[in-house]
A and B are shown apart, each in its own frame.
Chain A
Amino acid sequence: MIKIQDIRDAARDMLAKGEVRAVIGWQRGSRGMAAEPVVINAPEQADGLVWDPTCYHNLSLYLVNDKKAQAHAKQKPTLPIAIIAKGCDARSCVVLMQENYFRRDDIYIIGVSCEGTGVIDERKLAVALGGVKPTSAAFDGDDYVVTLPDGSEKRLPAREVMADRCLECREPFPKENNIALGEDKTGRALEAPFAALARFEQQSEAERWNYWQRQFDRCIRCFACRSVCPMCFCDECVVDSIEMKVAPTTSAEEKASRVRWIERSNTLADNFGYHMTRAMHLAGRCIDCGECERVCPVNIPLRLLNNKMEREAREQFGYEPGASIGGPSLVSSFRDDDPGTWIR
């Protein structure tokens, strides 16, 4: 099991030696059990880092944000930035590097293995505890130990309240790393890959259609699923109501004639348009960190869409996203031995 002290020591050392300019990690939040993302840049701040089953955030998003901020300020950083990364987070770093979003030298990966116990699904936990909200959570072997508001502790088998993405995770160990902490328990998926998708697809087409209508109908278009996704790094998103790249020289004609594929209205048609666009843009890129589904305030099961695209990529092209930095990316490569027959 990972000792939090090891994570703190690693972060402190790197900052003290001036090897990195900042470390992206997790700290305790102010509102209860959940950890929250933090960027630290002084050695003494390392003591505030935490590692527990609520470290569900995929921190590679903040690498993207950091890169954007640097570009905006027209700065070229001389030191890399360090990130604490779980198995899925490290895979998303790989995709970002595959797509040349940043170079391997730009980042320093402090890998943390989930060791097969993954992160908590707060919705499952709420059901398991009858709505009682714990004040903290910790790993302990195959269990989580949560502290309840009255100070008592409760032990729960991790498997029962673990996020679905972790149940189906094939690679809880961050293979791409500069240093790695914790045991490599790769291959320890608790459920078959795409298990939830397979269950869902047992329904008829009409049932599935009705299901998605109901899901998308309640979408409030807060765009949290987009905003939390490290792969959604476009400077301009198709759903934003105005263009970001308006310059003083942009004519009124150009501004007025911009194409709006998707209106900001939360009509069912526009909601469908938004979600289909998002899912398609993630084909061959989504590494199933599941953050989109976790953050959705109205419980839209977005992983089903992403998994569908991921499985297509695998079955049609034998493609596994996030596998290697130097490898080809799905949509910019062609192989004669693609397993799909349709292309010949």
Chain B
Amino acid sequence: MDKLIDKARLSDWITALADWEVFAPALEDGVWTFKAAGEAVSLGHTNVKQPPKDFAFPQREIYFSFEQVKGEPPRLTQKLPAEAKRVVFGVRPCDGRAVPRMDRVFNDPQFPDAYYQARRNGLAYVGLACNRPVAPTCFCKSVGGSPVSSEGMDVLLTDLGDRYFVQAVTKTGEALVAAADKLFVKASPADKKALEKTHADAEAQPQRAIADAAGAAKKLKANFDSPLWETLAQGCIGCGICTFLCPTCHCFDINDEVTGTAPMKGNRVRTWDNCQFPDFTMHTSGHNPRETLGSRLRQRVCHKFQYFHENYGMLQCTGCGRCVSECPVGIDIVNVVNKVTENVA
């Protein structure tokens, strides 16, 4: 059901969610980050620097601990995270659209990931529509999204001046609203009109554009060997900003971290990996199939616009623009896709 809440009552809503651990954007040292919500929450952020990806897929996940006393078989203890009711407020539509994409990878019916599922179960997202693009680097409309999309959200809020229009999208979303029922008023037809106008205005805001995102998969495939990849990666420094700040990048690495030697013990740990790092997919033989910066840029872009599309029928990029705005040297995925796909039939 569609409802409204006064902005001044937002903190009361959060307080009423006593069964939930609540997170909201906070500005610390100049960086917008999702933090445990304090008493005064206002959704005054543009977008958070890091997407809410790590709530379900943290940068570091311990699979199990191991211990081996000499002469005895190794003892392994699985470290499955406890399920908890957590809700993240202020998620932007681009980051919301990343949720079903991450779910598709880690809740794959054939290869379900128990660690992801344990964190994802009980995790809810309260989104905030973008009445205007939060940055000049936004391009959600180019990749099939919308600044007012509720995809991946449990609740979508839309800023109507002094109030939020509240749309519960899922059963969990309805429960979040029901938990503080008294704070909400029913939306009148006039409110709905105001919402429609706000959403239409938001959709009409100009954004940067990818010329043919829908056809990009085929065109990128045709241009796999293009010399453009190396040219476009010329300035690349091979850091991990673009993928570590990406709401949908999900490559990971697994290492054994040894913490003691007598007896030998430690943890098997999963950490985010990064296709821009020089050792990404390097073989134990020393051979590296993606040795150059160009081949690694191609991997990043084609994963989002070609391989993911081939595997799951959707683009992996949601147009948040972080990889563009945060790149230290101006590598620009919009420009890269446009350049590599132009003049390809």
Contacts and interface: CB of A to CB of B under 8 A. Distances in A.
B237 A34 contact: no
A131 B137 CA distance: 13
A38 B232 CA distance: 10
Interface in B258-281: 269, 271, 274, 277-279
Interface string B314-334: 000000000011101110101
A320 interface: no
B136 interface: yes
Give the residue among B49, B245, B279, B329 with the most A Cβ atoms within 10 A.
Answer: B329
Interface stretch (A107-115, A237-245, A304-312, A332-340): A237-245
B46 interface: yes
Interface stretch (A166-174, A212-220, A322-330): A212-220
Given A224-B241, A263-B255, A298 B49 contact: yes
Contacts of A267: 60
Nearest to B33: A218
Contact of A299 (B31, B245, B286): B31
Interface string A30-42: 1110111111000
A37 B282 contact: no
Interface in A209-234: 214-215, 218, 220-224, 226-228
A38 B234 contact: yes
B292 to A, nearest CB: 9
A248 interface: yes
Contacts of B30: 123, 299
B175 interface: no
B60 A227 contact: no
Nearest to A133: B136
Contacts of A299: 29-31
Interface string B53-66: 00000011000000
Contact of B330 (A31, A255, A265): A31
A248 B286 CA distance: 7
B328 A294 contact: yes
B239 A149 contact: no
A250 interface: yes
Interface string A108-133: 00000000000000010000000101
Given A31-B324, A242-B279, A294-B328, A223 B239 contact: yes
B31 A224 contact: no
B284 interface: yes
Given A31-B325, A31-B335, A37 B136 contact: no
Interface in B27-80: 28-31, 33, 46, 49-50, 59-60
A297 interface: yes
A297 B136 CA distance: 17
Given A149-B136, A240-B279, A248 B235 contact: no
Contact of B237 (A35, A224, A297): A224
A265 B271 contact: yes
Contact of A32 (B49, B136, B274, B279): B136
A107 to B, nearest CB: 18
A35 B327 CA distance: 12
Contacts of B237: 61, 224, 227-228, 295
B328 A228 contact: yes
A34 B330 CA distance: 7
Contacts of B29: 214-215, 218, 298-299
Contact of A222 (B60, B241, B325): B241
Contacts of B330: 29-31, 34-37
A86 interface: no
A36 B231 CA distance: 13
Given A265-B60, A297-B241, A247 B135 contact: no
B123 to A, nearest CB: 20
A30 B235 CA distance: 13
Contact of B257 (A61, A224, A265): A265
B240 interface: yes
Contacts of B137: 31-32
Contacts of A223: 239-240, 277
B271 A295 contact: no
B110 interface: no
Contacts of B244: 220-222, 297
23 contacts: A30-B330, A30-B332, A31-B208, A31-B324, A31-B334, A32-B136, A35-B330, A38-B234, A61-B237, A62-B235, A133-B136, A149-B136, A218-B28, A220-B244, A242-B279, A244-B279, A247-B286, A264-B253, A266-B271, A291-B328, A294-B328, A298-B29, A298-B50
Query: A-B pairs with the 8 shortest C-beta distances?
Result: A36-B330, A224-B239, A295-B328, A222-B240, A29-B330, A246-B286, A227-B239, A30-B335
Given A224-B241, A242-B282, 11 more contacts: A31-B136, A31-B332, A32-B137, A34-B330, A123-B30, A218-B28, A223-B277, A224-B239, A241-B279, A263-B269, A264-B271
Interface of A: 29-32, 34-39, 57, 61-62, 123, 131, 133, 149, 214-215, 218, 220-224, 226-228, 240-242, 244-248, 250, 255, 263-267, 291, 294-295, 297-299
Interface of B: 28-31, 33, 46, 49-50, 59-60, 135-137, 208, 234-235, 237-241, 244-245, 253, 255, 257, 269, 271, 274, 277-279, 282, 284-286, 324-326, 328-330, 332, 334-335
